[in-house]
């Protein structure tokens, strides 16, 4: 039989019989009876497992009689009726092996089992490929093989399922923290007050959700955060966009960098003014050096979208030895149902969105990558600022690490905070890692739609406490003809 090592299988069984509990506990988290390719070995392991599951403590010298007795208990006594089976058992008991090598042999047996399972799965993938009609997207076709391979990588890493003491290696963990101090745990977004509220920036293995009404500026917020991370921190950023084109993002980012009106950039009229032309050319050279990536996912199935994200991690970011991604951030703008695929009378839209959020969360956890996902606020979000304003599914709130609302400030709020303290507000409502903000508090933000720039100011409560000191306020440019609100998304 291919993909098997009968000598390694025999060494594992011999080690358990010779060294008892010490050997069994050392390999029980790696293999099971299906890991063995020889039927006799499977039977012997089942008998040994029964012995250790039944007894509180088994030290050494498990003999033929103990195995025969265990076989009788689990209804496998007939397995040793034949003479050659009894001889095989005696050969196992006499097989020489050192205790320190038993786990190594068990790991080899497990890996060979994974290889056999993968071979079977690839065979099933081949059958699925035969069903391809040609109407599918290229991404869907490639995912038939990719999903099989990447799902199986978990088997290679997930071999230690034992609970551990919370105090185990605690001193080493504290030393690691002390010797590798950081300003904050997660990746900074360029919005420090927001970062602090959600627990220190964008942490690994998290989905950070920001909800907004249409035409509020959530894509501009995504561009501002993404550019800060890719440019200042030199961390790769992928922008997955369901609506805007690559050119739309380029125009906005160049406007943000130069503070030249977007319409002058997209019409090319900036070139008529030498100083503006110099600014744009310098911004272009700087933008070329950033690790900022874009991909339109309009009309693509969610499985295709996950494949795109996975390929980007492998090709552009790179993986660590444990299969997790190196530092990077994915912006997903925005979570919505692309088509009716996967929906039926028994599957409603909110359920599909819930499953999408579950897959997004699982992806973030598997590769330990932070994801910023934008969603739409429902109509209640016009006046309310609660989690039930999230459009789609409660599962979005359940699985996200933090949930914030980005919206326009009302005329009353602008008057109360002062006209120099922004026209937008960012409201962190819930956070698994951070303290959030106090009730009725929010982060003031100023959006200059004409140049696609959003800057963070003080919180509402900070402004109230510092109301006597105008110089400490959030200062923006004086209103002028350029600083008109444009409904850029």
**Domain architecture of the chain: domains with CATH:** 6-131 (1.10.860.10), 180-472 (3.40.50.300)
| Alpha-carbon separation of residue 88 from 14, 95, 191 (angstroms) | 11, 11, 68
pLDDT score recorded for residue 347: 54
String of DSSP letters for 198-240: TTSSB-TT-EEEEEE-TTSSHHHHHHHHHHIIIIIS---EEEE
Computed from CA positions of residues 130, 136, 142, 144, in that sequence, does the dihedral angle turn out positive or negative?
negative
> Can you tell me the distance from the alpha carbon of 390 to that of 32, in angstroms, rounded to the nearest whole number?
45
pTM across the whole model: 0.70
Q: Which residues have CB under 8 Å from 440's CB, separation 6+? A: 460
On whether the CB atoms of residues 451 and 259 are closer than 8 A, the answer is yes
Q: Is 338 exposed, middle or buried (0-12, 13-18, 19+ CB in 10 A)?
A: middle
Q: Which residues have CB under 8 Å from 198's CB, separation 6+? A: 186, 208, 401, 402, 404, 428, 431, 433, 434, 436
> Can you tell me the distance from the alpha carbon of 427 to that of 293, in angstroms, rounded to the nearest whole number?
28
> Can you tell me the distance from the alpha carbon of 40 to that of 61, in angstroms, rounded to the nearest whole number?
20
The token duo for 338 is 């692309």
> Can you tell me the distance from the alpha carbon of 415 to that of 427, in angstroms, rounded to the nearest whole number?
18
Q: Are strands 443-448 and 453-459 parallel, antiparallel or unpaired?
A: antiparallel
Computed from CA positions of residues 74, 78, 81, 87, in that sequence, does the dihedral angle turn out positive or negative?
negative
Backbone angles phi, psi at 219, to 5 degrees: -70, -35
Question: Which residues in the chain show pLDDT less than 70?
Answer: 1, 55-60, 146-162, 337-350, 381, 389, 391-393, 468-489
String of DSSP letters for 67-119: HHHHHHHTT-GGGG-SHHHHHHHHHHHT----HHHHHHHHHHHHHHHHHHHHH
The token duo for 398 is 């359940």
Backbone dihedral region for residue 259 (phi beyond 0: left; psi -120 to 50: alpha; all else: beta) = left
Residue 136: asked if its preceding bond is cis (omega within 30°), the reply is no
> Can you tell me the distance from the alpha carbon of 179 to that of 485, in angstroms, rounded to the nearest whole number?
48
pLDDT score recorded for residue 127: 85
Q: Please give the share of the chain, as a percent, with pLDDT higher than 70.
A: 86
The token duo for 408 is 């326009």
């Amino acid at each position: 039989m291919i993909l098997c090592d009968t000598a390694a299988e025999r060494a594992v069984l011999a080690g358990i019989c010779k060294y008892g509990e010490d050997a069994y506990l050392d390999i029980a988290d790696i293999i099971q009876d299906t890991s063995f390719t020889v039927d006799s070995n499977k039977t012997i392991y089942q008998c040994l497992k029964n012995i250790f599951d039944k007894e509180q403590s088994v030290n050494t010298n498990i003999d033929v009689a103990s195995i025969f007795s265990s076989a009788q208990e689990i209804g496998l006594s007939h397995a040793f009726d034949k003479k050659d089976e009894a001889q095989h058992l005696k050969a196992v008991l006499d097989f020489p092996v050192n205790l320190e090598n038993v786990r190594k042999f068990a790991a080899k047996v497990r890996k060979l089992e994974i290889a056999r399972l993968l071979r079977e799965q690839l065979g099933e993938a081949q059958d699925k490929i035969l069903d391809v009609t040609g109407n599918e997207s290229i991404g869907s076709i490639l995912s038939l093989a990719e999903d099989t391979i990447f799902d199986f990588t978990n088997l290679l890493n997930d071999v230690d399922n034992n609970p551990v003491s919370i105090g185990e290696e605690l001193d080493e963990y504290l030393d690691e923290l002390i010797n590798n101090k950081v300003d904050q745990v997660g990746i900074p977004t360029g919005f420090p007050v927001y970062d602090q509220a959600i627990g220190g920036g964008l942490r690994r293995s998290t989905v950070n959700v920001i909800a907004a009404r249409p035409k509020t500026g959530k894509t501009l917020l995504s561009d501002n955060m993404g550019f800060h991370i890719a440019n200042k921190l030199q961390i790769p950023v992928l922008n997955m966009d369901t609506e805007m084109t690559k050119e739309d993002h380029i125009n906005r980012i160049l406007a943000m960098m130069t503070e030249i009106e977007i319409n002058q950039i997209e019409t090319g009229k900036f070139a008529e003014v030498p100083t503006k032309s110099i600014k744009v050319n310098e911004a272009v050279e700087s933008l070329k050096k950033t690790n900022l990536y874009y991909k339109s996912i309009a009309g693509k199935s969610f499985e295709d979208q996950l494949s795109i994200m996975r390929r980007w991690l492998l090709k552009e970011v790179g993986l660590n030895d444990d299969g997790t991604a190196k530092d990077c951030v994915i912006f997903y703008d925005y979570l919505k149902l692309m088509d009716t695929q996967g929906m039926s009378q028994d599957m409603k839209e909110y359920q599909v969105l819930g499953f999408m959020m579950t897959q997004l969360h699982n992806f973030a956890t598997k590769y330990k990558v932070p994801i910023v996902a934008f969603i739409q606020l429902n109509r209640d979000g016009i006046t309310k600022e609660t989690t039930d304003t999230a459009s789609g599914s409660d599962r979005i709130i359940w699985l996200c690490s933090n949930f914030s609302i980005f919206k326009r400030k009302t005329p009353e709020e602008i008057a109360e905070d002062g006209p120099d303290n922004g026209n937008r507000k960012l409201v962190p409502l819930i956070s698994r890692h951070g303290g959030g903000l106090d009730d009725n508090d929010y982060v003031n933000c100023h959006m200059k739609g004409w140049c696609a720039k959003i800057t963070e100011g003080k919180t509402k409560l900070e402004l109230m406490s510092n109301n006597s000191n105008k110089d400490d306020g959030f200062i923006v440019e004086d209103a002028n003809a350029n600083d008109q609100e444009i409904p850029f998304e």
